[in-house]
Each structure stands twice: as structure tokens, then as C-alpha cells.
Amino acid sequence: MALRNTSNAKKIDSEKVVEAHLHSEAKKRGWMALKLLPTFVRGLPDRILLLEGGRMVFIELKTTKERAFKLQRIMHERLRALGFEVYLIDTVAQVNDFIEKYEHHTPA
């Protein structure tokens, strides 16, 4: 699930900048943004975000306007089929939108 870009600016955020912002914002809220290393399973999203209440979200990070590779898209669909939430985020603004969406979310 890609978050829609709420900014009309044409600024390009590198994946490194987007990832650092996500990690920083998650840490401020007591969440854990764990980096997933594709040592044994290729196509895994970049981060797994652990939120209060036992909530878990997978996040693929990209440089602005980049798409996930085919293998990554296949893995994202497999994870969604298992009931997990998977997001592709490619701007700092999308990180902020994601944080706003989940900051006050109460798990069912």
C-alpha cells in the first residue's frame, strides 16, 4: 500500500533520508523500526515497525518516485495475503502521514 503524496513539491528525498526520518520519528514515540536484512529471504521490506499494542507493520523505503522491484512486489503481496500491512514510502512527507495515521491508532 503506497501512501499518497500530500506534497505538491518536486523535491526528491533519498532513501537514506526517508529511512533516517522514519527511524527518528518511530524512536520518539517508543516504537521500534527494525531493519530487515535479506540474508536468507530476498524481497523483504526494508523495515518492520513494532508499535504499541503488539501491532506490526512492514515498510519498504525508496528514493522519491522509485518503485519496488518485481521480487519485492511479490513479497509484499505474500505478506498482505497473510494479513500484514505493507507500505511503500518514498518521501519524508509520507513518513509524516504514516506517523500521523498510526500515532493515535488503537488496535482492535
Helices 15-28 and 92-103 pack at an angle, to 10 degrees, of 20
Tell me how far apart the alpha carbons of residues 17 and 29 are, in angstroms, rounded to a whole number.
19
d(CA 38, CA 69): 14
d(CA 47, CA 23): 9
What is the model's pLDDT at position 104? 78
Query: Residue 87 — φ and ψ, nearest 5°?
Result: -120, 145
Burial of 37 (0-12, 13-18, 19+ CB in 10 A): exposed
pTM: 0.85
CATH of domain 15-103: 3.40.1350.10
For 26-46, write each residue's pLDDT tens digit: 999 999 999 998 888 999 999
Mean pLDDT of the chain: 90
Q: Which residues contact 94 (CB under 8 A, 6 or more apart)?
A: 3, 5, 6, 18
* 84, three cell numbers: 500484514
pLDDT range class, residue 11, cuts 50, 70, 90? confident
Look at residue 103 in the predicted model and tell me its pLDDT.
86
